[in-house]
Structure 1
Amino acid sequence: MIGFFAGVGSEFTKIFTTRLWWSLALVLVLYLMALTGGLGLLFAGLQTGAIHARHGLVPSFGDLAPPLYSFATSIGYVFPVLFGALITAGEWGYQTITPTFLANPHRYTVLWAKIVTAVVFGAAYGALALAASVSSGAAALTHYGLNAELGDHATWHLFGRAVIAMALWGFVGVGLGVLVPNQAAVIVIILAFTQFVEPLLRLGAAFSVETAGAAKFLPGASSDALVGASFLDLQNTAEGAMVVDQLSWQHGGVMLVIYGAAVTVIGCLTTWRRDVS
């Protein structure tokens, strides 16, 4: 147990001596403030008719507050994933894994320390992401006279689940870093899947009842289910063209844990046990 806490302390020390943690945090906050604020003004303006849509239509996006606030997770989740992956894969890239294992030869204790560290930082990123998306999203809604819903209990429940989701994404990131101990490769894989592959899969699957049932088990869809809202909800519900099928928030959380455990276990059985120079 002493070795575990020492390992966690060592992980925090290593992280705070680099620019990784605050660089990701800065980009996360600026990105979400710009994206949520800009799209919030657009969708709120369209819904209220202040911004004129094509053909004079006034689209209805339903309740705007939850999907706007959920930008924190539905867009921002890539940041804790990258963080968790880089604090693991980066050790192999910079060859700091050797002194790490010399200081603590119990490799699984080191791994648990990294998981706990990534979960803590993931939760912190979640809080920062919410601060960015809520501040800019609420400002956009109130600008057009819409209810920001900050006094609603359901909104605060969403905030709590969003922090949990971001913490679990940190766990998933560590697992990916264990499975793919190459910084460049794991970054490419994470960005390709989160920014292109899964969004396209979910978009295509949403047009069919059969495929929508399978798409809800994808990692991002599971995260959205846990949070209870997604930016993908910002669609013209009057069209009724897309099928939205989600897990319960409890099942969404379980699926994220399963994904994190799966990639971690596979990585432990392969790369984590290999010899280091």
Structure 2
Amino acid sequence: MSRFGGALSSEVLKVTSTRLWWILALIMAGYIALCAGGAAALFGGLDGSSSGPAISADTLAPLIYSFGPTLGYVFAVLLGALATTGEFRHQTLTPTFLATPRRGRVLVAKLIALTGAGALYGIVAMIAAVGAGAGVLTAFGIDPQLADTDTWSLIGRSVIAMALWAAVGVGLGVLVPSQVAAIVIVLAFTQFVEPILRLATAWADWTAQLGQFLPGAASDALVGASFFALASPNAVSLEWWQGGLVLLAIAVAASILGWFTSWRRDVT
């Protein structure tokens, strides 16, 4: 096995040998299934009533399925961040760097391993969102659009988005080695700061052009559907591939900055 192959297998083992990944995955799946099923029941009920705005099936189904990355990305970021900051906290980087002195190789291996884990989270998230959402929509007599190729394209892009979010989490963990600080930053930014910024930037054309480069906006562009579009119809959006490149650039930039600020330091 090559040296990089050994580093990569070591990083995969680090992820799979702890309970963190599957506990987060279980919580994520239950949360997404509950929200997707609940939203499908709400809009399915409105669609069948004489009052309330109806949403066409070809629009409603993708919106329901987008709950996978819209809600699940927080868990992917946390997985990447916790898997990285945990190494600083427990000083497991010390034997890793002794075994593989080339720290850049270790960082690349960690990024690849956690990106793969993020993709797995994406699959779990979409199983939860599509399973619950399609089941409820079908119960209300609404076409779940599972025979539509656009739906499966959305599902595939959602998995890619989750994989990139996990890489962003790794970059954040390298840049901010403190586990507590990383968790606070993830939760504060994803749940409060960015939603406010996205709503605020949608009010003017020039700010909307900036707002589309926010991480969450880029992720929504990559996925191709989001309930945020209903709350902010004036917001502009990148092309799906541009959204993916923005997320990738964020992950790479954070990792490079973390390399110069913390990864190269003595961790003992």
TM-score by length of 2: 0.95
Farther off after superposition, 176-185 or 196-205: 196-205
Q: Please tell me whether the aligned partners of residues 32 and 72 of structure 1 are also in contact (alpha carbons under 8 angstroms).
A: yes
Higher share in helix:
2
Q: Please tell me whether the aligned partners of residues 43 and 54 of structure 2 are also in contact (alpha carbons under 8 angstroms).
A: no
Q: 2:146 aligns with which of 122, 136, 150?
A: 150
Q: 1:163 aligns with which of 159, 170, 192?
A: 159
1:60 aligns with 2:51: no
1:119-134 to structure 2, matched below 5 A, reads 119-134=115-130
CA distance in 2, matches of 1:144, 1:211: 40
1:87-98 to structure 2, matched below 5 A, reads 87-98=83-94
CA distance in 1, matches of 2:63, 2:202: 17
- Measured at CA, do residues 175 and 92 of structure 1 come closer, stay the same or move farther in structure 2, by a change above 3 Å? same
CA distance in 2, matches of 1:197, 1:149: 34
Equivalent position SS for 2:242:
helix
Letter in 2 for 1:60: A
CA distance in 1, matches of 2:77, 2:29: 16
Residue 82 of structure 2: aligned partner: 86
Residue 54 of structure 1: aligned partner: none
* 1:242-266 C-alpha deviation (Å, 9 max, x unpaired): 3031100011111111111111111
Q: Please tell me whether the aligned partners of residues 73 and 126 of structure 1 are also in contact (alpha carbons under 8 angstroms).
A: yes
Residue 183 of structure 2: aligned partner: 187
CA distance in 2, matches of 1:47, 1:213: 34
CA shift for structure 1 position 133 = 0.3
Q: Which runs of 5+ in 1 are unaligned?
A: 51-56, 236-240
CA distance in 1, matches of 2:85, 2:43: 40
RMSD: 1.5
CA shift for structure 1 position 217 = 0.7
1:261 aligns with 2:257: no
CA distance in 2, matches of 1:233, 1:76: 18
Farther off after superposition, 182-191 or 195-204: 195-204
Q: Which runs of 5+ in 2 are unaligned?
A: none
1:101-250 to structure 2, matched below 5 A, reads 101-234=97-230, 242-250=233-241
Give the share of equivalent positions with the same residue, in percent: 52
CA distance in 1, matches of 2:136, 2:24: 25
CA shift for structure 1 position 169 = 0.9
Q: Runs of at least 4 residues of structure 1 off by over 6 A?
A: none
CA shift for structure 1 position 234 = 4.3
Count of aligned pairs between the two proteins: 266
Equivalent position SS for 1:174:
helix
Letter in 2 for 1:21: W
Q: Please tell me whether the aligned partners of residues 67 and 234 of structure 1 are also in contact (alpha carbons under 8 angstroms).
A: no
